[in-house]
Amino acid sequence: MRVAELLGANALIFLVGLGLLPWLGVARSWRQLAARCGLAYLCGLVAVGILAAHLALVHVGFGWAALALVASVAAVSGAWHLRGSERPIWTRPRWPALAAASALTALLVEYLRAFAVAPLDRYDAWAIWALKGHALYAIGWADPAVFAGSEYRFANLDYPLLLPSLEAVDFHAMGAFDTRLLHLQFLLLLVAALPALGTVLAGQVRPLLLWALIGAVALAPAVFDQLLTAYADLPLALVFAVGVAAAGRWLLTDERWALAVATLCFAGALLTKNEATLFVAAAFLGLFAAAYSRWRPLAIAAAVDVALLLPWRLFVRVHGLSDINYNLADSFHPHKLGVGPIAFRTLGGQMLDPRQWGLLAPIFVVVLAVAVLRGERALAVFAAFTVLLSWIGLSWIYVISHFEYSSYLGSTKRRVVASVVLAAAALIPLLVGARGGSDERELLVAREPGNPHADEA
Amino acid sequence: MVVGAVELLPRVERGISRDSKLTAAERRHAAGDRLHLDPQPFDAFLTRLRPGARYAVDVPPGARGPFITRGAVVRAYAAFYFLPALQVRQAPLVFHYRSP
């Protein structure tokens, strides 16, 4: 029964995302909605997570009633947005795509068996994420007695609340704090992210390449292992990777919906873990460097993300919460500079470890080099900035950490690189199939009046 | 993909066969068992709590691990296990824990 309730809540979340797609500009007709509905679930999870996390700050719980209301409003308003537009046309799917989808489904069903029986026993999973999810469910809001309580400082109280809010939505739906079924939500995040990645990249890359990427991500041992721990690192990585893929598509095509999806995913990432500030900043720096002539939409996207993060940062400031692991202010008087290169090398080794990530990172390096040699400047600059700055920034955290670096690095090195590896992986198909080096020129031509593709851009 | 499949799928099967045998009690205490905490005091104290009740924790600091002390680990686990009762620094209701 609880499984049905959990799945029911997720069906409503999918509906929220489906209704959101027309508003994001992803779907301007019923036909486009059908073609791009792969984005709906992830967009719904991010949107519901952001909404529930913000409402928790102002003493508003987010249970069945709120979820049903938001789903209804999203669905009706989305349908209103698409009224009178083109209807979908049924086309028979090609057998290679059917075979690939069947294999992926079989793999996810196998994962489901593992997620359905996993115990909640990893420290951060219960001490940070599930504890907060349980508190949001049981108390109904981000009560400072817990969320700013001195006895709860161990729970990284400065970490944002998107993931605990999603967990609380599930607990509300199930009517219980179920530490076993909680794991299914983490698998469902993967179920949401894979078609989202496919939808963002579809039309820009060869289907074979797209399925290869989706398969490689789904089969990466670290993806399964880390999702099963019920930590936030892999959910963050999945959401960030879809955002990076959407941003990469925007660089190539200038489609506004792609930037809108990237903005939403980056906001979701920012509200999942503090490290996301580093990753999202790196991505925006990469975007500005790669497409400086299109700075206006980028500035708006960045402002939206800052605005969506602001309520949480205000809560953190008002309650005087700080990171128990490191202090960015220590960057001005680092006394462990020697740790930087060690951390950089160690994290690089983790990213290249085939027993964790397969060959995703080496392939990224090769296709990035080829893209540079081919003169595909914009995408290569974005990819290099995003990955390299994130990697350097992560390494810097160990320089300024309060903890003895080898213990801290040893216990976190496997999972912190997840966002960097998956973001890099998400860009591989675009780098392989990227258009020629004159991205900016092509876009200017595409925008000229009379160009049949101008409206799409 | 091949690297992932060869490395991962046997591990998935092993995890399923191990975790599917857990009893409800083992599942409830999985986090504490991993930390070698005695479940009995936690279960006994839990029966004295109602949602929203304030309690304090009395535990010696104990040995220091790489990040926090043994006592801090017990406090953290108590905070998790006793929710929705609320842990505070001082309260008439006190959870006493001594390592076995």
Residue A341 pLDDT: 92
Q: Do B83 and A228 touch (CB under 8 A)?
A: no
Residue A306, CA atoms < 13 Å, CB-side half-sphere: 8
Nearest chain A CA: its distance from B47 CA (Å): 17
| Closest to A220 in 3D by CA, of B18, B14, B12 | B12
Residue A75 pLDDT: 96
Q: What is the pTM of this model?
A: 0.93
Residue A162 pLDDT: 97
Residues of B in contact with A120 (CB under 8 A): 30-31
CA dist A309 and A320 (Å) reads 17
Task: Specify whether the CB–CB gap between A279 and A390 falls below 8 A.
Answer: yes
CA dist A119 and A181 (Å) reads 9
Task: Specify whether the CB–CB gap between A334 and A294 falls below 8 A.
Answer: no
Q: Is A138 on the interface with B (CB under 8 A)?
A: yes
Residue A333 pLDDT: 65
Task: Specify whether the CB–CB gap between A259 and A301 falls below 8 A.
Answer: yes
DSSP A401: B
Residue A438 pLDDT: 40
DSSP string, A185-245: HHHHHHHHHHHHHHHHHBTTB-HHHHHHHHHHHHH-HHHHHHHHTT-SHHHHHHHHHHHHH
Q: Is B12 on the interface with A (CB under 8 A)?
A: yes
ipTM of the shown complex: 0.94
Residue A332 pLDDT: 64
Distance of CA A382 to the CA centre of its chain: 17
Residues linked to residue B64 through DSSP beta bridges, in sequence order = B69
What angle, rounded to 10 degrees, do the helices at A233-253 and A439-447 form?
60
Taking chain A (457 residues) in runs of 10, the rounded mean pLDDT of each run is 93 97 96 95 98 96 93 96 90 88 95 95 95 96 95 94 97 94 96 97 92 95 96 98 98 96 98 96 97 96 98 96 77 75 95 94 96 91 97 93 86 95 97 58 39 38
DSSP A326: B
CA distances from A452 to A285, A457, B25 (A): 32, 10, 65
pLDDT single digits (tens) A381-423: 999 999 999 999 999 999 888 888 888 899 999 999 999 999 9
Please name the amino acid found at residue A140.
Answer: G
Reading chain B (100 residues) residue by residue, the pLDDT tens digits are 777 778 888 889 898 999 999 999 999 999 999 999 999 999 999 999 999 999 999 999 888 887 889 999 999 999 999 999 999 999 999 999 997 7
Residue A449 pLDDT: 39
Residue A91 pLDDT: 84
Q: Tokens standing for A28? A: 């301007």
Task: Specify whether the CB–CB gap between A347 and A395 falls below 8 A.
Answer: yes
Mutate to test the interface with B, among A111, A115, A117 (most CBs of B within 10 A): A117
Show the beta-strand stretches assigned E in A19-166. none
